[in-house]
Amino acid sequence: MNTTELDRKIASQTIANFFDRFGVAHLRLAEYAALPLIITPELVGFLRSRFLRGQVPWIAEADLLLSDLCRQVGYERFVMESPVRSILLSRLDAGAKQEVASLLMHYIAYLVKEKRYLSATELESQQWAAMVYLDDRRETAVKQIVERFRQLLDESSTQGDRSLRVEINGLAKLVSEYAPQLDAYPEVLAFARQVNEASSLSALREIPLPIKTELSIDEPALEVTLDEQLPFLQEFEFDIAIIDFPVQTKLQLEQFSYKLGEIVVTESRNLYLQKQAKIQVRKQPQQGQQFVEPLGQGITLDMVMIPSGTFMMGAPESEKGSRDTERPQHKVSVGIFFIGKYPITQAQYKAVMGNNPSRFKDEPDSPNRPVENVLWEDAVEFCRRLSKRTGKEYRLPSEAEWEYACRSGTTTPFHFGETLDTQVANYDASSIYGRGKEGEYRQKTTPVGYFKFANSFGLFDMHGNVWELCADTWHSNYKGAPEDGSAWIERNETSHLLRGGSWSGYPVTCRSAYRSNDLADGRLNFIGFRVACLARGLL
């Protein structure tokens, strides 16, 4: 068996393993993602939204990029090996390939406009990958590729042999990958083969270029500088690229005001010289940014913008009540996203799902209390329906996103400080934490925002009231946890992460780092959720 046959056999097995693990829906996304030479998370999201929305779950995007089908080559840049791409592309019909190529052209226009992700050379190659599938662009692509060969050979007198040879051979490899689309240009394919077989630069220079490369006025060649490259794409306005991607709906963010709460504990002595804790809540006016999602009948959903950043996830051994499940502490980087200002309320849940499973639904203010008695599957279905209704990508937050949003820059056990108090949260205050004191145990949920104090990001009820479901499956510690803020999911695990504590829990369980897990088939009156939303394309 030669190397080519072996590579193809390995690629076939890799694809089969991917299919066995994730199923046909994930494989379909992989087929669409095989056409671009360089894949970004953003591009995979566009492909799913354009061609497979409602058929493939959003988590498939991460599953694909983190699978053996893809290899990371830089920040948010992934590639598939040539044999894998070839097999996956063979499963797409010609019409689907042209549709993907057309979307890819719009995406390139978007990247050029935004000056994001890819270098000039990468954009050039990405463009050719699309053009060779488009009948009205293929000849232009061929001429540009040959012209690039000519430029590289002309530069041989000023560049080192090794760097020039690597770039020329890389270009020849691209041509070989495009072979099925370039069968009308046999001289170009033969030229690429000769380049790969040449033993030296001098031998390369002796190979005649296959066609003339003078381009007509409407077929300009690519330039090197970012502002000048891809000039034929100037006919595409940036707004057109946005329209092609449904998730790219620009938002009008609005300012909102809130009170940041911070617990300050002072101590004094009574007549018997015993220490007494006095707890005060320091208030500080703050402003944040949000968008408001209308749900109908006057019901809205406030989604707060969370800035990107890096934080230490988990708890140190020195933190009172911390457990091994919260370790090892590890640095996590989180991108911009939106998250609900409050847990999802009963009114919001009913507006989207049409029913209200909550235990505490007979109170006068029940519509504004958090929904509870829900399963993880209920929360996921809520996000799916909300996404379909609005065109945005709603989902449960990852565990890392939840903790990052909760801490909002703090490193203390609670975002309020070193302890918790019933002036700021709903929990079982028959137990105390740190220098706190006992307080009222309400024994049921309270309306969201009841305590009027938020964290630095403007989020309410992050400690207590209801446990909040996350996208992640349960892991007993953080060994091997992702460091990019993504959800950590094991396919054979049915239990999911809970965060934040609840009205029925002691304060130690309400800490920012505390982790618990749900019963996969059990509804409980202290489990709810809040939703997150991708910022991609919304800002």
Lowest mean pLDDT among 57-71, 196-210, 248-262: 196-210
pLDDT one-digit tens code per residue, 22-63 = 888 889 899 999 988 888 888 898 888 888 877 778 888 888
The 3-class SS string of 405-450 reads: HHHCCCCCCECCECCCCCCCCECCCCCCCCCCCCCCCCCCCCCCCC
Fold (topology level) of 284-534: paralog of FGE (formylglycine-generating enzyme) (3.90.1580)
* Residue 498 confidence (pLDDT) above 90: yes
Structure tokens at 196: 């790969």
Cα(374)–Cα(309) distance, integer angstroms = 31
At 367 the pLDDT is 97
- Render pLDDT for 216-236 as a digit per residue (tens, 0 to 9): 434 444 333 333 333 333 333
pLDDT on residue 217 = 32
Q: How confident is the model at residue 213, as a pLDDT?
A: 44
> What is the average pLDDT across 127-149?
81
Least confident of 6-20, 186-200, 279-293, 340-354: 186-200
Q: What percent of the chain has pLDDT over 90?
A: 50
Confidence of residue 118 (pLDDT cuts 50, 70, 90): low
Average pLDDT taken over every residue of the chain: 83
Query: Rounded to two decimals, what is the model's pTM?
Result: 0.57
**For residues 452 and 262, what is the distance between their CA atoms, to the nearest angstrom?**
12
Q: Are 500 and 406 in contact (CB under 8 A)?
A: yes
Pick the closest to residue 83 from 68, 97, 96 (CA basis): 68
pLDDT tens digit sequence for 432-457:
999 999 999 999 999 999 999 999 99
469-487 pLDDT tens trace: 999 999 999 999 999 999 9
Bridge-based pairing state of the strands 275-296 and 254-269 = antiparallel
pLDDT at 156: 58
Query: Which segment of 148-162, 231-245, 521-535 scores lowest on mean pLDDT?
Result: 231-245
Q: What is the model's pLDDT at position 521? A: 61
Query: Which residue bears the tokens 């959720």?
Result: 529
pLDDT tens readout for residues 351-375? 999 999 999 999 999 999 999 999 9
Tell me if residue 509 falls in helix, strand or coil.
helix
Long-range contacts from 442-448, C-beta under 8 angstroms, 24+ separation: 442/503, 443/503, 443/504, 444/360, 444/363, 444/503, 445/360, 445/369, 445/370, 445/372, 445/503, 445/526, 446/369, 446/503, 447/365, 447/368, 447/369, 448/342, 448/343, 448/345, 448/368, 448/369, 448/370
398 vs 333: CA distance, rounded Å: 12
Q: Which helix (H) or strand (E) covers residue 377, if one does?
A: helix 376-390
For residue 531, which phi and psi values (nearest 5 degrees)?
Answer: -105, 155
The reported pLDDT for the residue numbered 205 is 66
Burial of 218 (0-12, 13-18, 19+ CB in 10 A): exposed
3-state secondary structure of 28: helix
Is the previous residue joined to 328 through a cis bond, with omega within 30 degrees of 0? Answer: yes
Please, are residues 285 and 259 in contact by the beta-carbon 8 Å criterion?
A: yes
pLDDT digits (tens, 9 = 90+) for 295-332: 999 999 999 999 999 999 999 999 999 999 999 999 99
CA-to-CA distance for 264 and 419, rounded, in angstroms? 9
83-96 pLDDT, tens per residue?
998 899 888 888 88
Cα distance from N-terminal residue to C-terminal residue, the chain: 52
> What pLDDT shows up at residue 214?
45
**Highest-pLDDT range among 72-81, 472-481, 488-497:** 472-481
The residue among 430 and 234 whose pLDDT is bigger is: 430
Would residue 452 be called left, alpha or beta, if left means φ above 0 and alpha means ψ between -120 and 50 degrees? left
Distance CA(89)–CA(257), nearest Å, equals 51
396-415 tens-digit pLDDT: 999 999 999 999 999 999 99
pLDDT at 492: 79
Region class of 384: left (phi > 0), else alpha (psi between -120 and 50), else beta: alpha
CB atoms within 10 A of CB 95: 8
What integer pLDDT is reported at residue 269 of this predicted model? 67
User: Could you state, in order of their start, the residue ranges of all structural domains in the chain?
Assistant: 3-244, 284-534
User: Of 150-159, 253-262, 266-275, 408-417, where does mean pLDDT reach its minimum?
Assistant: 150-159
Residue 238, amino acid: F
Calpha distance 276→274 (Å, rounded): 6
Contact 502, 315 (CB under 8 A): no
